[in-house]
Amino acid sequence: MSSQPRPDDHLYYEDRTTHLRQGDLFTGVPLGLQLPAEVFNHGNRKFVSGPFEVGFAMLITPSCSMAAQGEPGRYAHPFRTVVPVWPLEDLVVQGAIKEASLGQLRKYDHLANYLYLPAIASAQMPESLALLYAPTTLDHGYLEKQRIAQLSVTAAVHLKRQLARHYGGSLFKHEAFAD
């Protein structure tokens, strides 16, 4: 199952709703971790850590958790969980991602702690990875008018697959998920 390719770049983004959905991408989001600003080692793996300041982020709060019961278009609470979206080139330079694994990453999105994201030229977001291991909870207000893209149905299903892999430790086929 790990050899199942990720969606093609041209199938990743589409405008689908006016309300927020899991997988939406934002710019200008305050991000940070309570760790030193450096790459740290954990066994034979490296992870980027530290105060990220303001940057790109992906919403990972499940869409159904945000919706108010019986009130279409309204949100149930103001809390959102996002993960930083970090330029792939920077992750390679810092040693968190091996340059030799880029071909496999671009084709299969095979790393459990990340989600591959094609560049969004109109928002000046380079080819990036969402750091699934680094969630931050913040108020909905930080995301207002900051959305730069929504995932397509195909990419939203891929996100669910990657989240199940990261948080649950199981790798499923895309067909096991629905948007």
Q: Helical H runs in the chain?
A: 63-66, 88-93, 102-108, 153-163
String of b and e for 78-94 (b: at least 16 CB within 10 Å)? Answer: eebbbbbbbbbeebbee
Topology (CATH level 3) of domain 9-176:
SH3 type barrels. (2.30.30)
CA 18 distance to own-chain centroid: 19
Specify the pLDDT at position 9: 94
* Digit-coded pLDDT (tens) for 86-114: 999 999 998 889 999 999 999 998 888 99
* Predicted structure pTM score: 0.85
pLDDT score recorded for residue 176: 76
pLDDT < 50 stretches in the chain:
1, 36-37
